[in-house]
Every structure is written in structure tokens, then in C-alpha cells.
Amino acid sequence: MALAYAPSLESTPVRIRERYDHYIGGRWVRSSSGETFATINPATEEALAQVASGTAEDVDRAVVAAREAYERVWRPMRPADRAKFVYRIARAITERSRELAVLETMDGGKPIKESRDFDVPQAAAHFFYYAGWADKLRYAIPGASDPSPLGVVGSVVPWNFPLLMAAWKIAPALASGNTIVLKPAETTPLTALLLAEICEEAELPPGVVNIVTGDGRTGAALVAHPGIAKVAFTGSTEVGKAIARTLAGTGKRLTLELGGKAANIVFADAPLDQAVEGIVNGIYFNQGHVCCAGSRLLVQEPIHDTVVERLRDRIETLRLGDPLDKNTDIGAINSAAQHAKIRELVQSGIDEGATLVEQSCALPTRGWFHRASFFTGVTQAHRIAREEIFGPVLSIMTFRTADEAIEKANNTPYGLSAGVWTDKGAKSMYVAQRLAAGVVWCSTFNQFDPSSPFGGYRESGFGREGGIEGLRPYLTA
């Protein structure tokens, strides 16, 4: 008999304003156009709030405020004092962690247990980590005894991990002595705006952190602004290419963390129970809205049928539903547009002859949801094996030898991450060293730490986030 779950809804109260303005120069400022847009709860399709729609004029005001704060306050400040402010922000995030988690789930659709246990703690950890670096910058670049900050950083972050991506950009920028203008994703701006409130509570000097909300046009204005010294972007490969073209020849620093189509390689000698859990975590975490998701599963031929059977049984145990329910494993797809893209690519897999297996649960009557699913009978020519689906959909292929697995894993324009499952350490190292991926997890998946660099190659971008490697792009020697 299957277990029945009673709803266990998160009860932490969250105050959401009817309207949010830009945060520029330490003040809440209306858009110069007066226009706003609605941010939507993807689980209910209801508007949560109206948010200011940024213009080029708003971006210019934010950059001017950031430059003034950089020259008058932030750069001249003692590094140890800058560290105190970054540390205050970290402490405030931990103190308001449940509020941030609930807001992240309501605005983005991810399960509350993921926001609570991963996004918010990781965001705080990055601020704690880089607070420790603020007075040790002389050790950041080998051979450089006195590295300097760049100036004003312009950052554009995506909708899949809004708070965490903001932390990845803001923490190293502030610790290294820069000021920043952040443009959050149009569909998930609320936690970035709550982070602005936290900066106020931490008494961060006005203009050090500025938040300008809006759509892609706002981000394009920020990237192209002549007052920006460095651009840090996380998002799609297509937009990343456009940003690189815009900045070519300008002398601006640029780091890009873009899309991925990671291979998760399972050898016949792998501990299968552990591997199946790693597969589930690799693709169904955050509904597959993860750039480093293990969306291509390469299984050694002798265990293919066993892995497929175990995976079929495992996805039936996943709970799909209200993201605010602590029992939920699969939450809502972030937007109607993303839901349509997932459905279109799933249909292409069916049309091209692959076999779809999905969990048998009912979908909620409101909101954008997609069942956890996987395809068998996939070849490298299928669109679902080549294109980033960015949803809870896995493509399963087979291999015979380690070299064949390496060749298939590298047969992609991306190069962000990969996973290797085997009980042989030598085999793990042999395969990992030959994979064209910035991060390779061995007998685990989706493990992150603020001190560990993360980033990719090829169409997955360049530069690193996290660790000392994530600090250096914000400094010059």
C-alpha cells in the first residue's frame, strides 16, 4: 500500500508589497517611465506584485550612484571594514532565511525544501566566505602584492536560482572593493529586492549595491553602459553570445556562466542504489531548471535495463504539487514560456522515435507543472540529446567502453559539468580527466561549496564563480 501524505505547508508569514521600485543610491526609486510589470506565482498563475520596469535612464542613474559610492566611500574604505559589511549581510540572510526561502518558492516555483535547505544557506555561505577574503586580497593574485578593484560591476542573473546567483555576483564584487548594479530576472525579482532591504539593514553605504528590475532591454542597457568596468552574466548561451559581441573591443572584463547539457555516466560496477539517487538529484532538482543538470544519462549496456527499471520505480515516489508543501519534490515550472518550451522538446523526442516514460501522478489544475520523465531509445542525433531542455526530462543512452562514454559525453557544444559513477577510483580519474567539462562530480552530483570554483568551457561560458578563482575577475594587478 502506497503511503499517503497530509499537506505540510510552510507557515512562515511573508510580507509582499503591492509595488516594488528600483533600489538606487540607497533609496527606492520609481522607474523613469512610470511603467511596471507583474511578477507571477507559477504555481497559481496569480500576480504577486507589480515591479518597476527599468529604462536606460534608470540604469544610468544606478551606474552614476555606484560610481560615486565607489570613489567616495567603498574603495577608500579599509578592507577590514568592508569585510564587516559583507559579514553583516551574511548574518542578516541567515536571520531572515525562512522569509527568503518562502519568497523564493512563491516567485520561482521551486519546492520550499530546496529553497530552505540549499538556495538560502548557499547564498549566506558565499557572503561569509568572501567576507573573509576582503582583507586578504594581496594573496588573491600570485605575484601581485596590491591588487585593485575595477570600479562598477554590472551583473545580470537568471530566474532559476535568483538569490544564490545574486550572492555569487555581489559577494566577491563587494569583498574586492567594487560597487555593483544588479539586474534580476524579470520573472523572479523579489528575493533580489528583499536582499536590497537586507543591505539597508546592514547599513551598507548608499550606492554600493543597486538593484534595477526589468526585462531583457534593461539588461542590455546595463551591459552596454560605458560606466561599467566588468560584466558578470549567468543565463542562456544565446544571450551570452550577444553580450560578448556587445563588449568586444570595449576593454570591459566579462565572465559568462551559460547553458549546459551535462552527461551523467554510470558504469556497470557503480553502486546502483546510490547512482539512481544521484541521477534523480542530477535531473529533477529544481524541476531540471539547472544549467549543470545531468540531463544526458550514459549507462553501460549490461546494466541499462536494471537502471531504467529502478529509475521508473523511483520517479513514481516523487511528489509533484504545491511548492510550499514540505513534502513536494517537483514544484512548478517557472513560466508559461518555459513550460511551452519543455513540452515542445518532449514532443520532438516522441516524434523522433524515442520512448517517453513519466510519473503517473495527476497535475494540479492551476499553475505550470511537468511530470518527472525520461526517454529511452535516444540517439545522439535526437534534439532532446543535443538541446538544453531546462526541465525535468532525462535522455538515456548507452555505451560499452570508457572511451566510448567519454566520446559521447564530449559530443556537445557545451562544457559545464559531468558526473561519473563507478567503484574504481582509477576509472573515475581516467574518465574525469578526459571530459571537456568545467566541473566533474565523481559518485555524487550537484555538490557545491563557496570555496570551490564553478564554471564551464566552450558554449557554457568562461570564468569561474566561487573560490579564489571567482574573486580574481573582480581585481586588477
Whether 187 and 332 map to the same domain: the answer is no
Q: Are residue 282 and residue 415 in the same domain, yes or no?
A: yes
- Any idea what the CATH number is for the domain that residue 150 is in? 3.40.605.10
The answer to whether residue 465 is domain-embedded is yes
Instruction: Determine the pLDDT at residue 376.
Output: 98
Residues 38 and 137 in one domain: yes
pLDDT value at position 369? 98
Looking at the domain assignment, is residue 33 inside a domain? yes
Residue 143, pLDDT score: 82
Domain CATH for 340: 3.40.309.10
pLDDT of residue 6: 84
- Domain coverage including residue 90: 19-257+457-476
Residue 3 lies in a domain: no
Q: Is residue 223 situated within a structural domain?
A: yes
Active site residues: 257, 291
Q: Is 314 exposed, middle or buried (0-12, 13-18, 19+ CB in 10 A)?
A: middle
Q: Exposed (0-12), middle (13-18) or buried (19+): which is 361, by Cβ within 10 Å?
A: middle
> What pLDDT is stored for residue 2 in this prediction?
58
Residue 4 lies in a domain: no
Domain check: are 177 and 287 in the same one?
no
Count the domains in the chain. 2
Q: Are residues 200 and 277 in the same domain?
A: no
Asked if residue 334 belongs to a domain, the reply is yes
Residues 227 and 321 in one domain: no
CB of 61 within 8 A of CB of 97? no
Query: Are residues 231 and 278 located together in one domain of the fold?
Result: no
HEC letters along 219-286: HHHHHHCCCCCEEEEECCHHHHHHHHHHHCCCCCEEEEECCCCCEEEECCCCCHHHHHHHHHHHHHHH
Same-domain pairing of 346 and 465 = no
Q: Evaluate whether 394 touches 377 at the Cβ level (below 8 Å).
A: no
What cell does 173 get? Answer: 564584487
Average model confidence (pLDDT) across the chain? 96
pLDDT tens digits along 93-140: 999 999 999 999 999 999 999 999 999 999 999 999 999 999 999 999
- Flag whether 13 is in a domain: no
Q: Would 233 be classed as within a structural domain?
A: yes
Do 391 and 423 lie in a common domain?
Answer: yes
Residue ranges in the chain modelled with pLDDT below 50: 1
At residue 12, the pLDDT reads: 82
- For residues 244 and 382, membership in a common domain is answered with no
**What pLDDT is attached to residue 13?**
85
Same domain, 131 and 158: yes
Same-domain status, 164 and 298 = no
